[in-house]
């Protein structure tokens, strides 16, 4: 019986679900399921420490410049910790907190950055230990 244990473990490991990254490109739009990292337009200092990237999308005006971006993140960090991180980060000066709204178990932040950039963050409470954060980025200018 013990001689079949390594084979059984290998079989169970091979059958376990994996979260592979899937990337779809449509001209200037890139959609990613289970991305390994966030689009570069997002300031990563707003992200919780324990972050799992679920979905992202980017609309680029060129190969370098992002016009719009979206990111869905899951985190097990507490709501209070997430709230404190976002508000502390917004107080540093390069992103100005314009509006904060709490409604129906969601906290929405609207921030404004230099060169006509805007960032919205929606924090959703969940019944379990994990919380969802949705990030929306938009750059109004063409440079």
The two tokens of residue 18 are: 């994996």
Judge contact between 82 and 133, C-beta under 8 A: yes
Give the separation between CA 8 and CA 114, rounded to whole angstroms.
56
pLDDT at 140: 84
- The residues spanned by each domain of the chain are 19-139
The structure tokens listed for 96 are: 């100005």
Q: pLDDT per position in the chain (143 positions), as tens? A: 445 444 544 454 555 455 788 999 988 889 999 999 898 888 888 998 888 999 999 998 877 788 999 999 999 998 899 999 999 999 888 899 999 999 988 999 999 988 889 999 999 987 678 899 999 999 986 55
pTM: 0.81
Give the fold, CATH level 3, of 19-139.
Answer: TATA-Binding Protein (3.30.310)
Helix (H) or strand (E) holding 108: strand 106-113
């Amino acid at each position: 019986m013990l001689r079949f244990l390594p084979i059984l473990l290998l079989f169970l490991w091979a059958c376990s679900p994996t979260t592979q990254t899937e990337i779809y490109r449509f001209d200037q739009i890139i959609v990613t399921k289970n991305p390994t990292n966030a689009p570069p337009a997002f300031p990563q200092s707003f992200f919780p420490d324990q972050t799992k990237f679920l979905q992202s999308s980017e609309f680029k005006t060129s190969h370098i410049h992002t016009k719009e971006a979206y990111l869905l993140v899951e985190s097990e960090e507490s709501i209070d910790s997430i709230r404190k991180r976002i508000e502390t980060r917004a107080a540093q000066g390069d992103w100005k907190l314009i509006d904060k709204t709490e409604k129906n178990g969601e906290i929405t932040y609207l921030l404004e950055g230099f060169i006509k950039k805007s960032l919205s963050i929606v924090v959703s409470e969940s019944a379990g230990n994990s919380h969802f954060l949705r990030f929306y980025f938009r750059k109004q200018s063409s440079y």
